[in-house]
């Protein structure tokens, strides 16, 4: 890609694209890190109120085959409050606008200097980002036609690196034996589960929020000490050594002994998310998903940054992965998927958890 545009400090080819949360036209607090899995064209417009910006926006709308939300997505950034007040912008699949009225994103990417007290000097530019949220390159807005043509020429997102990537996960059969899986399912059925929410940062607090469009799952927490001990033994035997071997990390703590149920009747699913993005969840290091049954359809776990492949482990098999990875559970279309879903962390993370307890507004779901 042409790198003729001056690169901003800390932002250049191969660098991690900074993450942020900001309001859009349709979402009060959109988390940019969940957008991975396709090419992203982050466009620092500054304002949509002049002819160059209007022409660019029309070029984007005309390129619906490119900015379709699957191959690529367009994210415009405006700092001009008139763009919202005068309804100059509109969104559709693959086209979204950040209302960066406080300049947070623009400063993060260098469109506004960190030293500037106001937004009078604004660098209008494109930042092209790959499906794993690493920067491909920067371009001036004048290169819009070239950028759209370049996006058309790029391989499918799952082959962006030249090969089909494998998500960096551990896939571990025989963690729970079938009889133990059935015991956990029976316990869930005897006690029922409650619809759980997601953890979000709101006004500096980690808050449990129910949003069935984002996540629909019923959970049951184990309370029996002996049963917890049996879980500990199996995880210590089958999972902890593998994490140590592959990641040189010694897991010493378990968060939540929980059976989750993804029920087709609930249209159960979990949209793309990461598990450690709030103060109340920052201590989480590895997520574990142990399937307790197989007689369901849908409900597969996927990792959008690494392509469309998804996984349906057999009974008793665990998928183990870093809590920083973007992941999702597809819609369950038949039956119920039961899974045991703990998080693992170490002594250093336990100290983080203790320090951050004051930021948790309610019990985690």
Per-residue pLDDT tens over the stretch 272-300: 999 999 999 999 999 999 999 999 999 99
pLDDT tens digits, 85-139: 999 899 999 999 999 999 999 999 999 986 655 556 899 999 999 999 999 999 9
Averaged pLDDT, 9-21: 90
Average pLDDT rounded to a whole number, residues 303-330: 97
Q: What would the mean pLDDT of 312-337 be, rounded to a whole number? A: 98
User: Is residue 201 predicted with pLDDT exceeding 50?
Assistant: yes
User: In total, how many domains does the chain have?
Assistant: 2
- Of 3-17, 149-163, 219-233, 278-292, the one with minimum mean pLDDT is 3-17
Mean pLDDT of all residues in 172-191: 97
What backbone torsions phi and psi does residue 193 show, to the nearest 5 degrees?
-130, 160
Residues 195 and 326 in one domain: yes
Element spanning 270, H or E: strand 269-273
Examine the pLDDT at 268 and tell me if it is beyond 80: yes
pLDDT at 8 over 90: no
Query: pLDDT, tens digit, for every residue of 71-81?
Result: 999 999 999 99
Q: Is the domain of 146 the same as that of 246? A: no
DSSP structure string for 70-136: SSEEEEEEE--THHHHTT----BTTEEEEE-TT-HHHHHHTSS-TT-SSSSS---EEEEE-TTSBEE
Domain presence at residue 253: yes
Residue 195 shares a structural domain with residue 55: no
Select from 159, 184, 208 the last residue of a domain.
159
Supply the pLDDT for residue 246: 97
Q: Is residue 318 part of a domain?
A: yes
Which pairs from 223-231 meet CB under 8 Å and 24+ separation?
Answer: 227/187, 227/257, 228/257, 230/180, 231/257, 231/340, 231/342
What is the reported pTM? Answer: 0.88
pLDDT score of 245 = 98
pLDDT at 116: 59
211 and 83 share a domain?
A: no
Domain range for 113 is 21-159
């Amino acid at each position: 890609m042409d790198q003729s545009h001056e690169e901003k400090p800390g932002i250049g080819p191969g660098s991690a694209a900074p993450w942020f949360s900001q309001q859009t036209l349709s979402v009060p607090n959109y988390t940019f890190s969940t957008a991975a899995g396709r090419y992203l064209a982050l466009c620092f417009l500054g304002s949509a109120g002049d002819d160059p910006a209007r022409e660019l926006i029309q070029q984007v709308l005309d390129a619906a085959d490119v900015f379709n939300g699957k191959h690529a997505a367009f994210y415009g950034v405006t700092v001009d409050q008139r763009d919202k007040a005068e309804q100059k912008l509109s969104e559709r699949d693959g086209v979204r606008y950040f209302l960066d009225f406080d300049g947070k994103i623009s400063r993060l990417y260098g469109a506004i200097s960190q030293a500037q007290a106001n937004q009078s000097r604004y660098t209008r530019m494109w930042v092209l980002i790959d499906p794993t949220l690493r920067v491909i390159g920067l371009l001036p807005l004048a290169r819009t036609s070239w950028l759209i043509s370049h996006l058309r020429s790029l391989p499918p997102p799952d082959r962006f690196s030249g090969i089909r990537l494998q998500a960096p996960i551990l896939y571990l059969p025989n963690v729970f034996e079938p009889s133990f899986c059935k015991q956990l399912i029976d316990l869930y059925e005897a006690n029922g589960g409650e619809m759980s929410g997601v953890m979000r940062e709101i006004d500096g607090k980690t808050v449990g929020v129910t949003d069935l469009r984002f996540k629909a799952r019923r959970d049951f927490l184990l309370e029996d000490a002996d049963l917890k001990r049996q879980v500990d033994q199996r995880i210590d035997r089958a999972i902890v050594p593998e994490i140590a071997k592959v990641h040189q990390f010694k897991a010493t703590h378990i968060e939540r002994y929980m059976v989750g149920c993804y029920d087709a009747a609930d249209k159960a699913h979990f949209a793309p998310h990461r598990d450690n993005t709030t103060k109340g969840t920052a201590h989480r290091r590895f997520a574990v998903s142990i399937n307790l049954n197989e007689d369901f359809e849908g409900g597969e776990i996927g990792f959008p940054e690494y392509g469309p492949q998804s996984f349906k482990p057999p009974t008793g098999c665990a998928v183990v992965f870093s809590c920083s990875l973007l992941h999702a559970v597809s819609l369950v279309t038949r039956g119920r998927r039961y899974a045991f879903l703990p998080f693992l962390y170490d002594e250093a993370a336990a100290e983080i958890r203790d320090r951050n307890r004051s930021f948790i507004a309610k019990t985690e779901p």
